[in-house]
Chains A and B, each alone.
Chain A
Amino acid sequence: KAGVTQTPRYLIKTRGQQVTLSCSPISGHRSVSWYQQTPGQGLQFLFEYFSETQRNKGNFPGRFSGRQFSNSRSEMNVSTLELGDSALYLCASSLTVGAAYEQYFGPGTRLTVT
Chain B
Amino acid sequence: EDKVVQSPLSLVVHEGDTVTLNCSYEVTNFRSLLWYKQEKKAPTFLFMLTSSGIEKKSGRLSSILDKKELSSILNITATQTGDSAIYLCAQDARFGAGTRLTVKP
Chain A: residues with CB nearer than 8 A to chain B?
Answer: 33, 35, 42-45, 48, 56, 58-59, 90, 98-108
Interface residues on B, range: 20 to 34
CB-nearest residue of chain A to B32? A100
With A42-B97, A43-B95, A45-B94 as given contacts, are A102 and B45 in contact (CB-CB < 8 Å)?
yes
Does the CB pair B42–A101 fall under 8 Å? Answer: no
Q: Which of A33, A44, A100, A106 contacts B42 (CB 8 A)?
A: A106
Does the CB pair B95–A44 fall under 8 Å? Answer: yes
With A42-B97, A42-B98 as given contacts, are A98 and B44 in contact (CB-CB < 8 Å)?
no
What total of A-B pairs shows CB separation below 8 Å? 46
Q: Mark B93-105, 1 if CB is under 8 A from A, else 0.
A: 1111110000000
A residues within 8 A CB of B1? 59
A residues within 8 A CB of B45? 102-104
A residues within 8 A CB of B43? 43, 90, 105
A106 to B88, alpha carbons, bound, how many Å? 16
Does the CB pair B92–A98 fall under 8 Å? Answer: yes
Does the CB pair B42–A108 fall under 8 Å? Answer: yes
Q: Which of B1-60 contact A (CB under 8 A)?
A: 1, 31-32, 34, 36, 41-45, 48
Q: List 16 A-B contacts (CB under 8 A).
A: A42-B95, A42-B96, A42-B97, A43-B95, A44-B95, A45-B93, A48-B93, A56-B93, A58-B93, A100-B31, A101-B32, A101-B48, A105-B42, A106-B42, A107-B42, A108-B42
A43 to B93, alpha carbons, bound, how many Å? 9
Q: What 20 new A-B contacts, CB under 8 Å, besides A43-B43, A100-B31?
A: A33-B93, A42-B98, A43-B95, A45-B94, A56-B93, A58-B93, A59-B1, A90-B42, A90-B43, A98-B31, A98-B92, A99-B90, A99-B92, A101-B32, A102-B45, A102-B48, A104-B45, A105-B36, A105-B43, A105-B44
A residues within 8 A CB of B48? 101-102
With A105-B43, A105-B44 as given contacts, are A100 and B97 in contact (CB-CB < 8 Å)?
no
CB-nearest residue of chain B to A6? B42
